[in-house]
């Protein structure tokens, strides 16, 4: 029988989090996320600021973040070193998602509230079957992604030297640059690919890409490329004057050393020396110039004599190089921010883990100290009842540390469930029996409704025991918060038709706030204050997930919650040792009935 | 005969409550206990204890908000306050409030409670 109890209205679990935040991606506070949830939020070095930064270059009261129609703005409070948004010094700036706020040495990334439009779009766009819509459209032509890249291929009827051919060629090179940029997160590989593309398209002999090292702020060569006919060991020397010009003015340049000066015999000079032409362009990203691309070519005196075209580089080349450099710069910036974010997130996670673990261990230690203190007193006063009382507290805390360690091990281990034929009702009944004492302690009724139709199934009984135990423990704690008498109902059900089996745990606790449901299964986010380890539900989810199942949560404020642990109902195969009726013959001891 | 002193313990940990209540009651003091901030404040107003032992890590209330509320209550009614916490709240250690860092040992904590109650008795007698 399926659906023993009607499902409660559920909150969508995938709803995006809407709290705007500042996330520190560089500086002493790297990895800290400041949630912005008040009308006015101080930012500065002083501890009175909600956004307190441990940065000596930040003023005590440096800036203020103010709520303005649906978002936030940042205002500088006449700080000594100023407030910068996306590299520009600001006095007041309306923040947009993705803005980079720099104060002192600290760099933060702003994430705004979820766009309201998002929910509207969901309501306004549907994916529906043709039967529902009456749509009679059919596919009349299809094209692969690969084919798309041929959009700019030359066609026979376009004369090769026409402006149209050049325009197509330019578009094609931009398209290919965009593709190259989108296909990798490895900066070296990306720059190498871009250099190759440039060489395919322009008659350059040598080229290099230099990036500004974020730490030293100096230009460092990253990629060097030479045409095969050129001597590979030849050193590329780029004029400092050109580099400075390009970086300072953020302009691309086309240079040639062909003498323009009338006072010299230009032709003679060229014949002696040949001509070197170069293009040098800044790599302008979304926020900063991240580096430059340089290419040059050399026309020998012999070539000039033999009438080979001298001016190989044109203004068109320069324009296109600027466009390519911009694409490359965007990719470099994205990659760098991505890595910085990953690093910062990791630091934040490690910090959070250590903070939470030490909090739990501290509380357990406090309990053990309390128990020991009573035992000491009891021994000194020859009072056995006091010793017994102290011992009970010590024992309880021993169990707590054992649970914490077991949860930590289960959570950290990459383990395969030990699948054996077992009885789900028995496993659940064991949990109920084990938790009955705790339920009485909390004055909560614990009821158990097994579905007798559940046959012997294949699953990891120890794992599932732990998963159910953690969910029931949570339910008991939640029910204890109920203003009425606390009540927890545990129900099993077999859905033979769906090939699924379920354990449902209902409580009449205060329910789970909508915005907390998402976080329930994240490790170390306990909403139970000091009682939970913050690992219980993540461990349950991991175990059930390893079985190919899932945990569903339905909750209604002030009415309670239902956790459904859903497992695939795997029947034992025909192996006589795994018969459903006979005793379990396995390496492991059979579970007592 | 010295009047019976009373201590209010505000702590969400059942273990800590039990240990302190046992120890203090054996010394002849009356104890009261609360798990939440609101409940604790209400009991402080109603029963006017001589001393409040307050664990700052309570549910549904951040430690930095818990301390000032109890401090105000302590100042208003003239009783002592010992705050237990991981981070010293601003202003703790002055006036009526004292601070003990967690994790603490019970021996020194109980001695401090004794001293504060004694001090109060002296003040009361002098008054």
Asked whether residue B1 is assigned to any structural domain, the reply reads no
Q: How confident is the model at residue A212 (pLDDT cuts 50, 70, 90)?
A: very high
Flag if A370 and B102 touch (Cβ within 8 Å). no
Asked whether residue B117 is assigned to any structural domain, the reply reads yes
3-state SS class at A494: strand
User: pLDDT tens, A82-113?
Assistant: 999 988 899 999 998 888 899 998 989 888 88
Q: Minimal Cα–Cα distance from B85 to chain A, Å?
A: 11
Q: Which structural domain, as residue segments, surrounds residue B83?
A: 6-126
Q: Which carries the bigger pLDDT value, residue A555 or residue A149?
A: A555
For B45, residues 6+ apart whose C-beta sits below 8 A from its C-beta are B73, B77
State the average pLDDT over residues A527-548: 79
User: pLDDT tens, A351-389?
Assistant: 878 888 888 899 899 999 999 999 999 999 999 999 999
Question: Whole-angstrom distance between the N-terminal and C-terminal Cα of chain B?
Answer: 16
Flag if B58 and A371 touch (Cβ within 8 Å). no
pLDDT at A577: 45
Asked whether residue B94 is assigned to any structural domain, the reply reads yes
Length of chain B as a residue count: 127
Number of domain units in chain B: 1
Q: Minimal Cα–Cα distance from A413 to chain B, Å?
A: 30
In sign, the C-alpha dihedral spanning A39, A44, A50, A55 is: positive
pLDDT at B8: 96
The segments of chain B whose pLDDT lies below 50 read none
pLDDT at A153: 60
Flag if A367 and B16 touch (Cβ within 8 Å). yes
B35 in reach of chain A (CB within 8 A): no
Q: How confident is the model at residue A457 (pLDDT cuts 50, 70, 90)?
A: very high
Asked whether residue B13 is assigned to any structural domain, the reply reads yes
Q: How confident is the model at residue A1 (pLDDT cuts 50, 70, 90)?
A: very low
Q: How confident is the model at residue A575 (pLDDT cuts 50, 70, 90)?
A: very low
Q: Which carries the bigger pLDDT value, residue A518 or residue A9?
A: A518
State the average pLDDT over residues A264-275: 57
Question: What is the pairing mode between strands A550-556 and A560-568?
Answer: antiparallel
Asked whether residue B74 is assigned to any structural domain, the reply reads yes
pLDDT at A159: 62
Question: What is the pairing mode between strands B97-101 and B80-85?
Answer: parallel
**Whole-complex ipTM:** 0.90
pLDDT at A375: 97
Question: Whole-angstrom distance between the N-terminal and C-terminal Cα of chain A?
Answer: 24
pLDDT at A154: 54
pLDDT at B30: 94
User: pLDDT tens, A24-61?
Assistant: 888 888 888 888 888 999 999 988 899 999 999 999 99
State the average pLDDT over residues A170-189: 80
Residue A13 clears pLDDT 50, i.e. is over it: no
CA angle A237, A243, A249 (to 5 degrees): 165
Count how many pairs of residues, chain A against chain B, have C-beta atoms within 8 Å: 56
Rounded to whole angstroms, how far apart are CA atoms A18 and A445?
37
Asked whether residue B28 is assigned to any structural domain, the reply reads yes
CA distances to A354, B8, B14 from A367, in Å: 20, 19, 9
Q: Output the pTM of the full model.
A: 0.59
Numbers of helices and strands, H then E, in chain B: 4, 5
Q: What is the CATH number of the domain that holds B116?
A: 3.40.50.2300
Tell which residue, A227, A256, A12, has the closest CA to residue A119. Answer: A12
Nearest beta carbon to residue A389 from set B22, B57, B105: B22
Share of chain A above pLDDT 90, in %: 34
Asked whether residue B54 is assigned to any structural domain, the reply reads yes
Residue A275 clears pLDDT 50, i.e. is over it: yes
pLDDT at A414: 65
């Amino acid at each position: 029988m399926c659906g023993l109890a009607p499902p409660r209205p559920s909150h969508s679990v995938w709803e995006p989090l809407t709290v705007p935040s500042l996330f520190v991606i560089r500086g002493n506070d790297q990895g800290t996320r400041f949630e912005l949830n008040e009308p006015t939020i101080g930012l500065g070095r002083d501890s009175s600021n909600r956004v307190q930064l441990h940065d000596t270059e930040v003023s005590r009261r440096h800036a203020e973040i103010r709520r303005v129609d649906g978002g936030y703005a940042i205002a500088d409070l006449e700080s000594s070193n100023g407030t910068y948004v996306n590299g520009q010094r600001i006095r007041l700036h309306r923040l947009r998602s993705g803005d980079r706020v720099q104060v002192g040495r600290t760099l933060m990334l702003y994430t705004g509230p979820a766009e309201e439009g998002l929910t509207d779009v969901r309501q306004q766009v549907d994916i529906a079957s043709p039967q529902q819509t009456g749509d009679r459209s059919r596919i009349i032509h299809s094209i692969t992604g690969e084919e798309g890249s041929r959009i700019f291929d030359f066609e026979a009827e376009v004369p090769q030297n026409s402006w149209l051919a050049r325009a197509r060629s330019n578009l094609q090179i931009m398209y290919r640059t965009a593709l190259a940029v989108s296909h990798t997160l490895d900066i070296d590989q990306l720059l190498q690919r871009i250099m190759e593309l440039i060489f395919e398209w322009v008659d350059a002999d040598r080229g290099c890409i230099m990036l500004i090292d974020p730490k030293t702020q100096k230009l460092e060569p990253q990629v060097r490329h030479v045409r095969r006919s050129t001597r590979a060991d030849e050193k590329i020397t780029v004029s400092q004057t050109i580099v400075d010009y390009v970086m300072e003015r953020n302009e691309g340049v086309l240079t040639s050393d062909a003498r323009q000066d009338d006072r010299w015999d230009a032709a003679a000079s060229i014949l002696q020396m040949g001509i070197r032409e170069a293009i040098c362009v800044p790599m302008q990203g979304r926020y900063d110039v991240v580096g430059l691309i340089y290419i040059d070519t050399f026309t020998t005196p012999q070539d000039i004599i033999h009438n080979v075209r001298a001016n190989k580089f044109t203004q068109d080349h320069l324009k296109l190089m600027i466009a390519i450099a911009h694409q490359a710069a965007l990719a470099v910036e994205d990659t760098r921010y991505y890595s910085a974010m990953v690093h910062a997130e990791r630091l934040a996670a490690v910090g959070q883990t250590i903070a939470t673990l030490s909090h739990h261990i501290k509380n357990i230690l406090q309990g053990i100290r309390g128990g020991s203190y009573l035992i000491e007193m009891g021994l000194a006063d020859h009072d056995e009842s006091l010793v017994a009382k102290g011992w009970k507290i010590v024992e309880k805390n021993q169990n707590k540390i054992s649970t914490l360690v077991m949860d930590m091990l289960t959570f950290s281990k990459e383990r395969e469930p030990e699948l054996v034929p077992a009885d789900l009702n028995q496993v659940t009944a064991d949990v109920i029996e084990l938790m009955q004492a705790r339920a009485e302690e909390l004055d909560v009724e614990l009821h158990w409704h097994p579905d007798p139709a559940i046959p012997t199934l294949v699953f990891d009984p120890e794992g599932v025991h732990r998963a159910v135990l953690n969910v029931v423990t949570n339910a008991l704690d939640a029910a204890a918060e109920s203003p009425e008498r606390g009540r927890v109902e545990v129900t099993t059900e077999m859905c033979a038709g769906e090939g699924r089996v379920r354990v449902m745990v209902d409580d009449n606790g205060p329910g789970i706030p909508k915005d907390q449901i998402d976080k329930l299964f994240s490790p170390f986010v306990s909403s139970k204050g000091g009682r939970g380890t913050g690992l219980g539900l993540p461990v349950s989810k991991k175990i059930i997930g390893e079985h190919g199942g899932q945990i569903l949560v339905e909750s209604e404020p002030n009415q309670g919650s239902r956790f459904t642990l859903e497992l695939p109902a795997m029947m034992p195969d025909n192996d006589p040792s795994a018969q459903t009726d006979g005793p379990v013959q396995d390496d492991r001891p059979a579970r007592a009935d | 005969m010295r009047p019976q002193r009373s201590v209010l313990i505000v702590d969400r940990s059942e273990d800590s409550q039990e240990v302190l209540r046992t120890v203090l009651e054996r010394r002849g003091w009356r104890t009261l206990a609360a798990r939440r901030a609101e409940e604790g404040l209400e009991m402080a107003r109603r029963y006017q204890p001589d001393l409040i032992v307050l664990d700052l890590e309570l549910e549904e209330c951040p430690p930095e908000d818990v301390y000032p509320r109890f401090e105000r209550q302590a100042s208003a009614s003239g009783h002592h306050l010992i705050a237990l916490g991981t981070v010293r709240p601003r202003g703790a250690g002055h006036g009526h409030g004292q601070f003990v860092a967690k994790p603490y040992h019970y021996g020194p904590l109980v001695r401090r409670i004794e001293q504060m109650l004694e001090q109060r008795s002296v003040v009361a007698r002098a008054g």
